[in-house]
């Protein structure tokens, strides 16, 4: 139909972009491998609760958790409910206090000047221990300080009980007040330090937060040198919306790492307003945190949870493992043994992946050279122009004009220091175009070959494997472009994400279908020679009579498309069959990086497509196999769009998928060859009996 030419100038620009991408990729790899320390954390409250449940002193249990591998305790703000249960204060609603005074169970209250203070049923009363020193007195002072900060001094009164016991009278709703966060408890911070643990503090924000509120949080922790990080509780980070610079300044003074908890759907983070802004203000001293959701952990056996941790840290750049305790013992073990074995198992897996444990590692604030990124953008533009010439050839001067215009639109913003939209566009174009270019080149090769039924299987496999390797390498250029153009610290931390996931899956399929229809006639063996021939083919497709068999095939195709699209991204879509989950687990155990299912089952389609062209199978079958092969090549590229995954692991995953897919493709080709021989043999026998 047309004389397709591969413009060598455009190819040279693509190669230049590849060299720039390799340079950025190597720099990114160096940043990633230098961040190899994982913080093993658990809630301090979990250990205390486990000690109470099992009747074991916390002083005995804490060292055992440390020996099992826990490096860090997370300490939340205290509440009146917690302090009451710990016996450090006594909290009573005003109505209860009035009743106790009437029955003689409690003494009357006095003001500081000695005058009587009548209890108020609408207030809440907080009793400390007698005396002005001791732990209870210090805790009560911390409680008062935070209550005044949250409610105002007019709503918190200092009283004295008849036995000189200090009392706070608080004008607030009892049910809500006992659950309010009231600041970080110094006694828990001190306990963690005494047992040699690091600490990650978990404060919350204040309503209409003031600078004094932010300062109070850091004042509470100033005497503790074992605090390594901070993870906020609630829907806002401390200081949001207007005081984030102050929070960041205090964090930088202490060298604190910001913990960002990964969303359960593994797409960015649990929603907290101001989180990403604070990470940037903290010079990207931040670590990704993973915690298995409570409702999910109860369904997992400890061995299954350990396996999950084994792949989480290296694959998703998790640097804080926030473990939860198990509440039910395994058969033959106590609850304490169950939890200690679980933690030891996770710790062993972390060490097996060449991670050390301690304060969470952080990425250097890496941003690639703008010049290198601009060269990559120009290479992606050249790939786009080359693809257009392979759809319909046009004059070279127009090719270069188009290259210059689009290249300038993409490269100028990048060189100016911004260009996030341009970089996303380059990544999307690279992810879609290179698998299609690889398959288009292969179609042009196959189109030049004369179909011949007698070609040996060995010849077909040699040609198919060689072509698959070349197509994979061409597609890999797109993956390296994506990994480099979006390869700064924001994407490594997943503060920013690749935005074109769905288009990356659908685009190559649509484009390779157009390419195939431009080169091959689905209904006749005569090639397409003119645009009118292409139009006639499209009209014939639209006019094709629909039979029940065709409807069934369309139904299966629609189902396959639904599964294909629904399984992309991170949204809760098409469920994964149990047998596939087992197959994935097997691959994760035997390979350093598990290949993606689309590649394992898509690469064999490439070898079968080679057989289809050599053996002159129907064009529709060829098209289906070409689409399957393109999906696998696109999946190789899309792997690199998961920027939180180290670039070397994405590369390894692609090669593992290529090797496994090629092996399965060889087996599938042999199976079709055997089927061909059996069919031929049956036909001969039928003719003899006739």
Q: What is the pLDDT of residues 199-208, one digit of tens each?
A: 999 999 998 8
Return the higher-pLDDT residue of 193 and 526.
193
pLDDT, mean of residues 467-482: 95
Return the higher-pLDDT residue of 276 and 567.
276
Dig out the tokens for 394 from the structure. Answer: 């046009």
* End-to-end CA separation in angstroms for the chain: 45
Contact 338, 326 (CB under 8 A): yes
From residue 310, alpha-carbon distances to 240, 297, 307, 353 in Å are 35, 15, 5, 8
Place of tokens 């100016």: 416
Contact 224, 98 (CB under 8 A): no
Contact 200, 44 (CB under 8 A): no
**In this prediction, what percent of the chain has a pLDDT beyond 70?**
86
**In this prediction, what percent of the chain has a pLDDT beyond 90?**
61
Q: Place 192 in a pLDDT band, splitting at 50, 70 and 90.
A: very high
* Cis peptide bond prior to 241, omega within 30° of 0: yes
Q: Place 527 in a pLDDT band, splitting at 50, 70 and 90.
A: low
What is the structure's pLDDT at 584?
A: 63
pLDDT, mean of residues 116-121: 85
Residue-wise pLDDT for 321-335, tens only, equals: 999 999 999 999 999
Place of tokens 């496994």: 660
Q: Place 586 in a pLDDT band, splitting at 50, 70 and 90.
A: low
Residues 6+ apart with CB under 8 A from 24: 368, 369, 372, 373, 376, 483, 484, 485, 487
Dig out the tokens for 338 from the structure. Answer: 């169950």
Contact 17, 380 (CB under 8 A): yes
Dig out the tokens for 292 from the structure. Answer: 């298995």
Residues 6+ apart with CB under 8 A from 60: 51
Euclidean distance between CA atoms 385 and 182, whole angstroms: 62
Residues 6+ apart with CB under 8 A from 232: 202, 203, 204, 205, 238, 272, 275
485 three-state secondary structure = helix
What is the structure's pLDDT at 161?
A: 84
State yes or no: pLDDT of 178 exceeds 80. Answer: yes
The helix-helix angle for 548-566 and 501-519 (nearest 10°) equals: 140
State yes or no: pLDDT of 464 exceeds 50. Answer: yes
Euclidean distance between CA atoms 47 and 319, whole angstroms: 22
What is the structure's pLDDT at 570?
A: 47
Q: Which residues of 418-444 are buried (b: 16+ CB within 10 A; e: fewer)?
A: ebeebbbbbbbbbbbbbbbbbbbbbbe
Q: What is the chain's Cα-based Rg?
A: 33
Euclidean distance between CA atoms 628 and 622, whole angstroms: 10
CA angle 159, 162, 163 (to 5 degrees): 105
Q: Place 267 in a pLDDT band, splitting at 50, 70 and 90.
A: confident
pLDDT, mean of residues 260-274: 91
Euclidean distance between CA atoms 616 and 343, whole angstroms: 59
Residues 6+ apart with CB under 8 A from 33: 646, 648
Sheet arrangement for strand 109-110: 90-93, 124-127, 166-170, 156-161, 109-110, 116-117
Euclidean distance between CA atoms 213 and 228, whole angstroms: 21
Q: Place 568 in a pLDDT band, splitting at 50, 70 and 90.
A: low
pLDDT, mean of residues 248-275: 93
State yes or no: pLDDT of 189 exceeds 70. Answer: yes
Return the higher-pLDDT residue of 75 and 531.
75
Euclidean distance between CA atoms 138 and 276, whole angstroms: 36
In sequence order, the β-bridge partners of residue 200 are 74, 229
The 10 Å Cβ neighbour count of residue 661 is: 27
Q: Place 111 in a pLDDT band, splitting at 50, 70 and 90.
A: confident
Euclidean distance between CA atoms 130 and 116, whole angstroms: 18
pLDDT, mean of residues 318-322: 95
Residues 6+ apart with CB under 8 A from 270: 261, 262, 263, 264
What is the structure's pLDDT at 163?
A: 72
Residues 6+ apart with CB under 8 A from 679: none
Q: Of 163, 33, 168, whose CA–CA distance to 94 is shortest?
A: 168
Residue 451 φ/ψ region, left for φ over 0, alpha for ψ in the -120 to 50 degree band, beta for the rest: beta
pLDDT, mean of residues 32-41: 95
The 10 Å Cβ neighbour count of residue 478 is: 34
Strands of 451-506 (E only): list them: none
What is the structure's pLDDT at 572?
A: 47
Residue-wise pLDDT for 385-410, tens only, equals: 999 999 888 889 999 999 999 999 99
pLDDT, mean of residues 598-618: 87
State yes or no: pLDDT of 274 exceeds 80. Answer: yes
Strands of 537-685 (E only): list them: none
Residue 239 φ/ψ region, left for φ over 0, alpha for ψ in the -120 to 50 degree band, beta for the rest: left
Residues 6+ apart with CB under 8 A from 555: none
Dump the DSSP string for 240-266: TTT-HHHHHHHHHHHTPEEEEEBPTTS
Dig out the tokens for 213 from the structure. Answer: 């509120």
Q: Place 687 in a pLDDT band, splitting at 50, 70 and 90.
A: very low
319 three-state secondary structure = strand
State yes or no: pLDDT of 228 exceeds 70. Answer: yes
The helix-helix angle for 44-54 and 335-352 (nearest 10°) equals: 150
Q: What CATH number is given for 36-75+184-357 in this structure?
A: 3.20.20.80
Euclidean distance between CA atoms 218 and 613, whole angstroms: 70
In sequence order, the β-bridge partners of residue 454 are none
């Amino acid at each position: 139909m047309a004389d397709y030419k591969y413009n060598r100038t455009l190819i040279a620009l693509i190669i230049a972009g590849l060299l720039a991408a390799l340079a950025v990729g190597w720099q990114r790899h160096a940043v990633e491998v230098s961040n190899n320390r994982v913080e093993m954390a658990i809630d301090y409250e979990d250990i205390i609760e486990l000690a109470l449940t099992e009747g074991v002193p916390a002083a005995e249990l804490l060292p055992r958790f440390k020996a099992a591998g826990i490096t860090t305790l997370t300490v939340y703000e205290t509440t009146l409910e917690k302090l009451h249960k710990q016996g450090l204060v006594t909290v009573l609603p005003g109505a209860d206090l009035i009743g106790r005074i009437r029955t003689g169970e409690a003494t009357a209250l006095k003001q500081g000047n000695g005058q009587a203070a009548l209890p108020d049923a609408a207030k809440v009363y907080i009793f400390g221990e007698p005396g002005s020193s001791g732990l209870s007195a210090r805790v009560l002072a911390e409680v008062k300080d935070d209550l005044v900060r949250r409610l105002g001094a007019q709503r918190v009164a200092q009283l004295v009980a008849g036995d000189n016991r200090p009392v706070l009278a608080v004008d607030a709703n009892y049910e809500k007040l006992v659950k309010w966060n009231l600041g970080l408890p110094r006694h828990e911070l001190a306990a963690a330090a005494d047992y040699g643990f690091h600490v990650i503090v978990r404060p919350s924000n204040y309503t209409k937060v003031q600078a004094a509120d932010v300062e109070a949080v850091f004042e509470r922790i100033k005497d503790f040198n074992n605090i390594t990080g901070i993870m906020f509780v609630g829907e806002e980070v401390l200081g949001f919306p207007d005081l984030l610079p102050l929070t960041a300044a205090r964090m930088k003074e202490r060298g604190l790492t910001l913990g960002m908890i990964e969303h359960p759907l593994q797409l960015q983070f649990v929603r907290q307003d101001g989180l990403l802004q604070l990470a940037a203000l903290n010079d990207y001293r931040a670590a990704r945190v993973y915690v298995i959701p409570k409702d999910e952990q109860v369904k997992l056996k400890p061995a299954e949870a350990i396996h999950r941790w084994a792949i989480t840290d290296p694959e998703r750049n998790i640097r804080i493992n926030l473990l939860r305790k198990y509440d039910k013992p395994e058969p033959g073990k106590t609850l304490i043994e169950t939890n200690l074995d679980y933690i030891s198992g996770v710790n062993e897996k972390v060490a097996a992946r060449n991670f050390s444990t301690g304060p969470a590692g952080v990425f250097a604030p890496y941003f690639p050279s703008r010049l290198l990124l601009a060269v990559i953008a120009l290479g992606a533009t050249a790939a786009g122009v080359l693809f257009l010439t392979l759809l319909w050839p046009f004059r070279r001067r127009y090719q270069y004009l188009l290259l210059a215009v689009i290249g300038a639109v993409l490269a100028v913003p990048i060189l100016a220091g911004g260009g996030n939209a341009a970089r996303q566009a380059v990544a999307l174009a690279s992810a879609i175009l290179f698998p299609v270019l690889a398959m288009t080149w292969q179609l042009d090769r196959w189109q030049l070959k004369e179909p011949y039924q007698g070609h040996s299987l060995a010849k077909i496999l040699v040609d198919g494997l060689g072509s698959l390797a070349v197509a994979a390498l061409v597609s890999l250029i797109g993956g390296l472009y994506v990994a480099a153009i979006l390869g700064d610290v924001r994407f490594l931390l997943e503060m920013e994400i690749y935005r074109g996931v769905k288009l990356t899956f659908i685009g190559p399929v649509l484009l390779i279908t157009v390419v195939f229809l431009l080169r091959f006639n689905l209904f006749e063996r005569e090639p397409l020679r003119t645009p009118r021939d292409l139009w006639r083919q499209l009209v014939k497709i639209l006019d094709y009579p629909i039979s029940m068999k065709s409807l069934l095939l369309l139904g299966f195709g629609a189902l396959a498309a639904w599964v294909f699209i629904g399984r992309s991204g991170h949204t809760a879509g098409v469920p994964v069959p149990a047998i596939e989950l087992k197959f994935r687990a097997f691959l994760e155990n035997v390979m350093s990086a598990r290949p993606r299912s689309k590649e394992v089952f898509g690469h064999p389609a490439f070898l079968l497509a080679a057989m289809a062209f050599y053996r002159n199978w129907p064009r529709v079958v060829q098209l289906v196999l070409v689409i399957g092969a393109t999906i696998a090549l696109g999946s190789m590229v899309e792997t690199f769009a998961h920027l939180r995954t180290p670039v070397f692991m994405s590369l390894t995953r692609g090669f593992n998928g290529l090797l496994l897919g090629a092996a399965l493709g060889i087996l599938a080709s042999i199976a079709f060859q055997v089927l061909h021989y059996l069919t031929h043999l049956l036909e001969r026998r039928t003719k003899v009996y006739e």
